[in-house]
């Protein structure tokens, strides 16, 4: 009996430890975040106005302790602060009441709000914006391992108990097979290896052709930091077709020469260097531009066109290396995103105005497109004051839902932005 107890106690303590490990302290600390996301995030963002006001800075503007009364019953509160707030946000209606929230829960929510920082916009090339999914798969991996261990321990306990009980009633059993020879374990091991191999094979195959962080060497070291950053040249000056066509386009040499007929030297404050740290001479790079343009910097005019091919002798287009490139089976249109969807270049391309040479910031994977379509709202037509995109006046159902408060916004997904044929030829 005492042996029986010992085995049981040992495994029990082990199990307890493992369970505690798997419930790491993080899940307790995340309370405020979870509450915020499930109850408040429909209407509030910590740092930006949304359906309701941005919440950060709440302590500085509200009367002390006011927040508890407000969250419990916003409709009933009629002090001057509440009335002013309601007038200002009349268009959004009155906030939902949450009488069920306790003080400490509200504190946790507001703590999360105060500590919230918007996701950092990338510095330097070696950054992935899919960290979230990485974090999750790590968590799942660890959990799987923990459960596998628990299963293993339970199996051992079970077989030990069986042995004990067999001994007790005097049943003869052959010596147990050590576990590394045990067929069940071997089988499980082989299946595990297959699953793991399969996972990496599929993951690799899907990733084929993906080029996140791709940063080729260009024929001229052309710095977006110098042009779009320090000198504040608008993206659309060079990539103007992004507004009204599928492609953003790359400017021709003529566009460069609009300015560089008179800018022959680089004397700017930005240090020019390549990814590997080698310094770049800006003036020499501008001279390369003159070669391509067929410009004579000394005479300050284009070279003659003696061979009559319509361009100055020696002029040729710059062969920029294309960085972003979706597979041929995908349809992507810039104007739809810039002009209609009102997206910023930086959301998809990162902080281009801080890049020496451009690299591919996003994965350009299907999941990337779809995630954004699930989260982004379209500029939905508002029947009451005729604002928004008139095209969306046709969605009667959504208009009714908004009127009946079943819906407060329409995402790209709702208008069909996740249907296969929208993105695939």
User: Given candidates 77, 108, 122, 286, which one binds ligand HEC under the rule CB under 6 A?
Assistant: 286
Report, in Å, the least distance between residue 141 CB and ligand HEC. 22
**248 in contact with ligand HEC (CB under 6 A):** yes
**315 in contact with ligand HEC (CB under 6 A):** no
User: Given candidates 122, 293, 315, 364, which one binds ligand HEC under the rule CB under 6 A?
Assistant: 364
- The footprint of ligand HEC on residues 75-134 (CB under 6 A) is 85-86, 89, 92, 94-96, 98, 101, 109
Token pair in block for residue 387: 């604002």
The stretch near ligand HEC (CB under 6 A) out of 52-60, 138-146, 148-156, 191-199 is 52-60
CA dihedral for 184, 185, 189, 192, sign (positive or negative): positive
User: Given candidates 32, 46, 282, 294, which one binds ligand HEC under the rule CB under 6 A?
Assistant: 282
d(CA 301, CA 296): 5
260-263: long-range contacts (C-beta < 8 A, 24 or more apart)? 260/286, 260/289, 260/290, 260/293, 260/295, 261/295, 261/300
Burial class of residue 341 in the structure, from the number of CB atoms within 10 Å of its CB (0-12 exposed, 13-18 middle, 19+ buried)? buried
Cβ atoms of 294 and 315 within 8 Å: the answer is: yes
Cβ atoms of 361 and 224 within 8 Å: the answer is: no
Cβ atoms of 368 and 362 within 8 Å: the answer is: yes
User: Given candidates 336, 339, 400, 403, which one binds ligand HEC under the rule CB under 6 A?
Assistant: 336
Strand segments (E) across 160-303? 295-296, 301-302
Report, in Å, the least distance between residue 227 CB and ligand HEC. 4
Report, in Å, the least distance between residue 412 CB and ligand HEC. 4
The stretch near ligand HEC (CB under 6 A) out of 61-69, 118-126, 145-153, 396-404 is 61-69
Strand segments (E) across 177-297? 295-296
DSSP state of 330: B
**224 in contact with ligand HEC (CB under 6 A):** yes
User: Given candidates 365, 382, 393, 409, which one binds ligand HEC under the rule CB under 6 A?
Assistant: 365
**267 in contact with ligand HEC (CB under 6 A):** yes
Binding mask 21-50 for ligand HEC (x = CB under 6 A): ------------------xx-xxx------
Between helix 253-260 and helix 282-293 the angle, nearest 10°, is 120
d(CA 370, CA 134): 17
**293 in contact with ligand HEC (CB under 6 A):** no
Binding mask 173-212 for ligand HEC (x = CB under 6 A): ---------------------------------x--xx--
């Amino acid at each position: 009996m005492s042996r029986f107890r010992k085995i049981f106690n040992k495994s029990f303590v082990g199990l307890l430890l493992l369970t505690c490990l798997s419930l790491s302290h993080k899940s307790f600390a995340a309370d405020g975040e979870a509450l915020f996301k499930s109850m408040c995030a429909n209407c509030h963002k910590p740092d930006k106005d949304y359906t309701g006001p941005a919440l950060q800075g709440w302590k500085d503007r509200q009367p002390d302790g006011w927040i508890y009364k407000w969250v419990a019953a916003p409709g009933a509160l009629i002090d001057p602060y509440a009335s002013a707030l309601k007038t200002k946000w009349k268009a959004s209606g009155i906030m939902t009441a949450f009488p069920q929230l306790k003080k400490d829960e509200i504190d946790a929510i507001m703590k999360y709000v105060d500590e919230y920082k918007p996701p950092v916009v990338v510095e330097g090339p070696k950054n992935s914006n899919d960290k979230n999914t990485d974090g999750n798969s790590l968590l799942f991996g660890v959990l799987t391992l923990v459960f596998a261990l628990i299963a293993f321990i339970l199996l051992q306990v079970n077989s030990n108990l069986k042995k004990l009980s067999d001994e007790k009633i005097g049943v003869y059993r052959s010596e147990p097979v050590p576990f590394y020879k045990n067929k069940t374990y071997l089988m499980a091991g082989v299946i595990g290896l297959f699953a793991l191999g399969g996972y990496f094979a599929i993951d690799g195959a899907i990733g084929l052709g993906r080029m996140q962080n791709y940063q080729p060497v260009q024929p001229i070291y052309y710095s977006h930091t110098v042009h779009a950053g320090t000198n504040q040249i608008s993206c659309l000056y060079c990539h103007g077709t992004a507004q009204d066509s599928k492609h953003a386009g790359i400017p021709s040499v003529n566009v460069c020469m609009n300015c560089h007929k008179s800018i022959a030297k680089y004397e700017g404050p930005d240090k020019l260097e390549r990814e590997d740290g080698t310094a770049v001479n800006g003036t020499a790079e501008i001279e390369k531009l003159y070669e391509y343009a067929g410009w004579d910097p000394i005479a300050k005019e284009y070279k003659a066109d003696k061979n009559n091919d319509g361009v100055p002798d020696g002029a040729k287009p710059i062969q920029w290396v294309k960085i972003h490139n979706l597979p041929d089976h995908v349809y992507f249109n810039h104007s739809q995103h810039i002009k209609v969807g009102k997206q910023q270049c930086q959301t998809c391309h990162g902080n281009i105005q801080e890049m020496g040479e451009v690299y591919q910031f996003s994965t350009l994977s299907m999941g990337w497109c779809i995630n954004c379509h699930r989260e982004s709202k379209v500029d939905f037509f508002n029947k009451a004051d005729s604002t928004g995109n008139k095209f969306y006046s046709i969605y009667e159902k959504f208009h009714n839902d908004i009127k009946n408060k079943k819906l407060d916004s329409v995402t790209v997904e709702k208008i069909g932005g996740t249907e296969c044929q929208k993105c695939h030829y």
